[in-house]
């Protein structure tokens, strides 16, 4: 299907062109759905009142628009780098087309006797397996990191820099800014690392049904990654605050530059994962 501006130009020049069909009896809407072009599809649905007759159209093999939405073409290019996120896109696209279909067409069978649901399950079997494998690999790797951070954060939270006064257990360094940063960041690191670990374990124990890829698994992955990044940053902040007390006064003012450099690896990793965050958070339609 052509670019949206080309389609708009054709429709402006010849509005009746929307009803024309190719040799396979596919009209403009069926072609837009087949080639998974949301912009053209939304343009046609929004600007033409006779769109209902186009939605109810079937091609020579009795395929409806929903059958085309359910089909994953062999040469179809992925819109994301992850099979799991691509699976989410495919489900959203199918549901988007389904929301504009008459209820009588939901159980429609094509020439091969297949409904759109059966076509979706059949053509998306491989990408489903790839998505499961990718989620398992990602969750296993991240859960190990989260478990290590939780262990380190717990040990840090149980260790009081400078010790206590030996009377009522009040820390000697209580009230100092660095001590407050150490205490808060240790707690934050432990809480978010446990949250991250819980999310990744819930992904690993999921049933991995098709509908799980719509919201359940992506939300868990997003929460898990976000919690993991926060826990890593908090752990580094806790380490820097605890290490600050070991420096003499002349060196303390230069330590901030060293601590800032320590955060660069985390920042670099977050930047490399930005495309995944963007894919998880954006709405395709």
Domain boundaries, the chain: 4-123, 126-276
- Please tell me the pTM assigned to this model: 0.81
Quickly count: other Cβ atoms within 10 Å of residue 115's Cβ. Answer: 18
Quickly count: other Cβ atoms within 10 Å of residue 209's Cβ. Answer: 11
In 3D space, the residue among 157, 139, 172 whose CA is nearest the CA of residue 234 turns out to be 157
**Distance in angstroms (rounded) separating the CA atoms of residues 264 and 236:** 11
**Distance in angstroms (rounded) separating the CA atoms of residues 111 and 94:** 20
In 3D space, the residue among 185, 183, 193 whose CA is nearest the CA of residue 226 turns out to be 193
Q: Is the pLDDT of residue 110 over 70?
A: yes
Do the beta carbons of residue 96 and residue 65 sit within 8 Å? no
Look at 118-122, 243-247, 261-265 and tell me which has the smallest mean pLDDT: 243-247
Q: pLDDT digit string (tens) for 78-94?
A: 566 688 888 998 999 99
In 3D space, the residue among 12, 46, 5, 13 whose CA is nearest the CA of residue 29 turns out to be 46
- Angle among Cα 71, 74, 79 to the nearest 5 degrees reads 80
- In sequence order, the β-bridge partners of residue 171 are 164
Task: Supply 175's token pair.
Answer: 């009230």
The CATH superfamily of 4-123 is Ankyrin repeat-containing domain (1.25.40.20)
Quickly count: other Cβ atoms within 10 Å of residue 71's Cβ. Answer: 21
């Amino acid at each position: 299907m052509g670019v949206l501006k080309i389609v708009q130009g054709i429709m402006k020049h010849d509005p009746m062109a929307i009803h024309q069909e190719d040799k396979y009896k596919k009209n403009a809407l069926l072609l837009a759905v087949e080639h998974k072009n949301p912009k053209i599809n939304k343009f046609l649905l929004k600007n033409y009142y006779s769109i209902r007759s186009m939605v109810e159209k079937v091609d020579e093999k009795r395929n409806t628009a929903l059958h085309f939405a359910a089909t994953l073409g062999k040469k179809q290019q992925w819109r994301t780098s992850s099979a799991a996120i691509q699976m989410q896109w495919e489900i959203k696209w199918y549901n988007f087309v389904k929301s504009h279909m008459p209820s009588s067409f939901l159980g429609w069978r094509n020439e091969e006797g297949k409904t759109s649901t059966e076509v979706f399950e059949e053509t998306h079997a491989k990408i489903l397996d790839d998505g499961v494998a990718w989620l398992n690999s990602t969750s296993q790797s991240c859960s190990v990191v989260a478990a290590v951070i939780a262990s380190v954060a717990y040990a840090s939270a149980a260790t009081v820099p400078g010790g206590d006064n030996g009377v009522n257990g009040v820390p000697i360094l209580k009230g100092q800014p660095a001590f407050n940063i150490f205490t808060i960041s240790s707690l934050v690191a432990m809480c978010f690392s446990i949250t991250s670990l819980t999310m990744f374990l819930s992904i690993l124990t999921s049933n991995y049904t098709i509908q799980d890829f719509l919201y359940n698994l992506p939300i868990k992955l997003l929460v898990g990654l976000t919690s993991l990044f926060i826990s890593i940053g908090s752990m580094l902040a806790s380490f820097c605050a605890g290490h600050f007390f070991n420096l003499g006064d002349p060196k303390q003012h230069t330590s901030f530059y060293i601590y800032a450099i320590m955060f660069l690896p985390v920042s670099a990793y977050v930047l490399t994962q930005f495309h995944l965050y963007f894919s998880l958070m954006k709405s395709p339609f």
